[in-house]
Structures are given as C-alpha cells and as structure tokens.
Structure 1
C-alpha cells in the first residue's frame, strides 16, 4: 500500500506546485498575499510550490478558495485542445496524504462544459472538512454514493447516505465528508459551475 501511495502522490507533487505557483502569479499575488488570503503559512505555500510538501485536501481547498477556484478547476489541465473522450487510464489521480482518499478526475478536460465529474475512493474512518467557497456561490454538486456508505454534512444538515443515494449540495455551504464505517466507500461528485 505504501508504494502505491508514493507512486500516486510523488509524481504529482511537482505538478501541483507548478499549478499553484502559476495560479498565484496569474493573479499577481505574492507568497505573502496568498498566505494572508488562505490563512496558510508562507513557508508551507513555498514548500508546496517547490514540490517539497504534499498538501492535504483541506489545505488545498483553502488555497483554491483564496485563488477563486475549485479543486476540479485546480486539477484540470489548461493547455492543449480538449478531447471529448476521457479514457480511464489517462484520468488524473490524486491521493490526499492526510486521509488516503483517492480522487479521480473523470470528466474530459478543456471541453468548455460547466460540469465536472469526480470519482472518490474514501477510506474507512476517514474525515475531510471543506470550508465554504464564498466566491463561487453558484457552483453546486451532487454526491452519488456508488459503494459503501458516507455521512455528509452541508451547512447545518447532516445526511447518512447508502449506496445509490444522491445528495445535492452548494459549495458556499461548506461540507464535511466522513466515513464512520469499517469499510471504504466509493462515490461520484458531479459539480456544476454557474455560467457567466
């Protein structure tokens, strides 16, 4: 298991760092400016940009919010022409170093679609808290449990979901994803971005 985690996360650390630095520079933010907006230390951001640290899902979500983007947009490749077909073997993978959850970007990239589809394998007893995305109040998501069970909190509402259940949530509410069970869960997230 440890070698699988390394093979999934190590090669992506430098790409994540490069992407973070690119987005920061596109907004003409200094390291200090981004640190202040995200509530993350300048040193940690610098380490991530250099590929020396693996950000957790919670930390990456805070950085994305400070950069006015979502995790899906952060992971999407921006260069080249879009291909309407996304083959499984080419889909981007990322493993959260804190919980071990595995995120797969399923949607074809650079198609102009306002919809992103993500598949997540969530480990037993895992928990991730995502702060509200105030800047992006129009983005919504459906979480569809494919296997196992999850407990999701959106704003003040908590729901226990079983395989086949689907929950609608808004990103500006903030969410808690947790699997209090002894078995891993698998679910799809379908994000819809507001146009215009």
Structure 2
C-alpha cells in the first residue's frame, strides 16, 4: 500500500481518537461502513475522494484540511516538487496540495478532473468554511444542492451555505481547477 494511504489512515485514526469516537460512532456520523473505516485506518485500502469527503465531513472539516494534516510538514514554503499528489483510485481525480502547512487559515488545492468524472461531497464537509472554486482550464459543472453552475476557464464561484455538492466533468477534456478554502472560525 502506498505511504500516502498509510498517512491518510493514521490521520483518520488520530482525528477519531482525538474526539474519543469509536469506529461505530464514526461510521454512523459519516455513512461509511465500520469495516471500510478500519481498512482505511490500517492503510489497507486506498480511499476514494467521496469516502474521504464523508469522513472529513463527519469531523467537521474539508477533505483538503484532512489531507493537509496527513501530507504536509510545518512551514511557510512548499516547493512544487514537494507538493503532495494524490489520485482518487475510483475516478482518476488528481489532487495537488499547493499551500504550505502553516498557521494560515487558507488552504489551496489544484485538481485535475478527468473527463466523465463525478465527485460528490457532503454538506458536512463545508461547515464553518468559506470556499472558492476557480477554473483554470477546461469546463466544470458544479452542482450545489439544487443549483447547477457551469464554469469555464477563468470563472470563479464562491460556495453558498453548506449543501451536498457534486463536481462533474461533462466534457471530453481534463478540467483543471483550484479550490481555495478559508476557515470561518
């Protein structure tokens, strides 16, 4: 199993244990089976973006924040060669963590979303967060609750109140976009 999967698993376990939660309680809060959480925590399964979003949402954080805690060393400079990459084994979604891990309340992530990829994110992952989506190249369909946003290169969308969301690439080309996240409190 990839070292990144082991680090993610260790971070999920640390977040769960810091809250005093059992596997069963995390399963109830996230909608992820107890058995799958156990496999993730042991680094025996490469989690999908959807699964990580559900776990992060249960912890009251974004998937990016959860991943940053698993991936990054402290510091103010993160060189491109050291920026952690993660690939969703289900969709091929490529995530590059761009921002350094510092005291800053900002988090910057670059995503390559392959053609036909669909990435659902639960509303719980957006609580207490302000988030912007900036399309760098290609086209992105972002479904926010019942609202559909069709974004092209250069477009930037601020998310509204937390709701279940879906990132979709309905085109035949990879879409590259940046996600900027600020903690509100």
The TM-score range, normalised by the shorter chain, is: over 0.9
* 2:110 aligned partner: 119
1:128 to partner: Cα distance: 0.8
- Count residues with an aligned counterpart: 185
**What do residues 29-56 of structure 1 show as CA deviations (whole Å, max 9, x unaligned)?**
1111111111211111111111111111
CA distance in 2, matches of 1:70, 1:133: 8
User: Which of 140, 146, 153 does residue 156 from structure 1 map onto?
Assistant: 146
User: Which of 94, 98, 107 does residue 102 from structure 1 map onto?
Assistant: 94
Rate the CA distance shift 1:103–1:80 in 2: closer, same or farther, 3 A.
closer
1:182 to partner: Cα distance: 0.5
Rate the CA distance shift 1:78–1:181 in 2: closer, same or farther, 3 A.
closer
* 1:128 aligned partner: 119
1:170-181 to structure 2, matched below 5 A, reads 170=160, 172-181=162-171
Q: What is the SS of the residue equivalent to 2:123?
A: coil
Structure 1, unmatched stretches of 5+, are 1-8
CA distance in 2, matches of 1:53, 1:158: 33
Q: What is the SS of the residue equivalent to 1:172?
A: coil
Q: What is the SS of the residue equivalent to 2:3?
A: helix
Q: Could you tell me the TM-score, scaled by structure 2's length?
A: 0.93
1:18-167 to structure 2, matched below 5 A, reads 18-77=10-69, 82-109=74-101, 111-133=102-124, 137-167=127-157
Q: Could you tell me the TM-score, scaled by structure 1's length?
A: 0.88
1:81 to partner: Cα distance: 7.4
Runs of 4+ in 1 over 3 A off after TM superposition: 77-82
Q: What is the SS of the residue equivalent to 1:173?
A: coil
CA distance in 2, matches of 1:76, 1:21: 15
Structure 2, unmatched stretches of 5+, are none
2:175 matched to 1:185?
yes
* 1:6 aligned partner: none
1:79 to partner: Cα distance: 10
* Contact kept in structure 2, 1:139 and 1:170, CA below 8 Å: no
Rate the CA distance shift 1:154–1:80 in 2: closer, same or farther, 3 A.
closer
